[in-house]
Amino acid sequence: MDRPVRKDIRLKNFDYSRNGTYFITVCTKNKMCILWDNNDKYKTIPTENNDVSNVGTAIGRPNCNAGKILLSEYGRFARQGLMNIHEHYSMVYVDKYVIMPNHIHMILRIDMMPDPGGRPMAVPTISQVINQFKGWVSKKSGFPIWQRSFYDRIIRNDKEFADVWQYIENNPVNWQNDEYYVG
């Protein structure tokens, strides 16, 4: 059986291992809504303090008035996988992320400082980082949970960075209007 030819979505002649900031989106296989515990009808569980601290990093917690979002077991694996990225690749940082029911948005930054000893270090590409993240989460989950590939956009300036940051921040609040919403 012949597979369809996929369009190459990476920027031609761009070195995805050089210093830079990237907006990444990773989707679950067949857009399965498995990353939140309370995703029936995609409504959040109301709480007194309206806390959604489980879906993003401490530096980028979304302010959602809808209630508390609880990550499923697979969502917790994904969060741990995101935290593991910097441990495996000391020059790669997850500046901000949000875990949605069927996808993850993140800002990844490669910041390779020159080695004072003059030894060149191998810097991973964004594809290597994301593939290792996806593989680790799938292994912990016991089955492949991710769709093939991922979406990336190079963040070129401070305004783009601020726009992406705000988009990630507001994603849980705007879930029902999200392009990945399957209702």
Task: Give the domains, in start order, of the chain with CATH numbers.
Answer: 20-177 (3.30.70.1290)
| 25 CB neighbour count, 10 Å cutoff | 16
Give the pLDDT of residue 55: 54
> 59-69, pLDDT tens digit by residue?
333 444 345 67
Concatenating the DSSP letter of every residue in the chain gives: -PPPPPPP-SPTT--TTSSEEEEEEEEBGGG---SBSS-GGG-PBP-SS---TTSB-GGG----TT-B--B-HHHHHHHHHHHHHHHH-TTEEEEEEEE-SSEEEEEEEE--PPPTT--------HHHHHHHHHHHHHHHHTS--B-SS-EEEEE-SHHHHHHHHHHHHHTTTTGGGSTT---
Give the pLDDT of residue 176: 77
> 3-29, pLDDT tens digit by residue?
665 555 545 655 556 678 999 999 999
- In the predicted model, what is the mean pLDDT of residues 39-54? 42
Give the pLDDT of residue 56: 57
Among 21-25, 47-51, 137-141, 151-155, name the one with the lowest average pLDDT: 47-51
Give the pLDDT of residue 48: 41
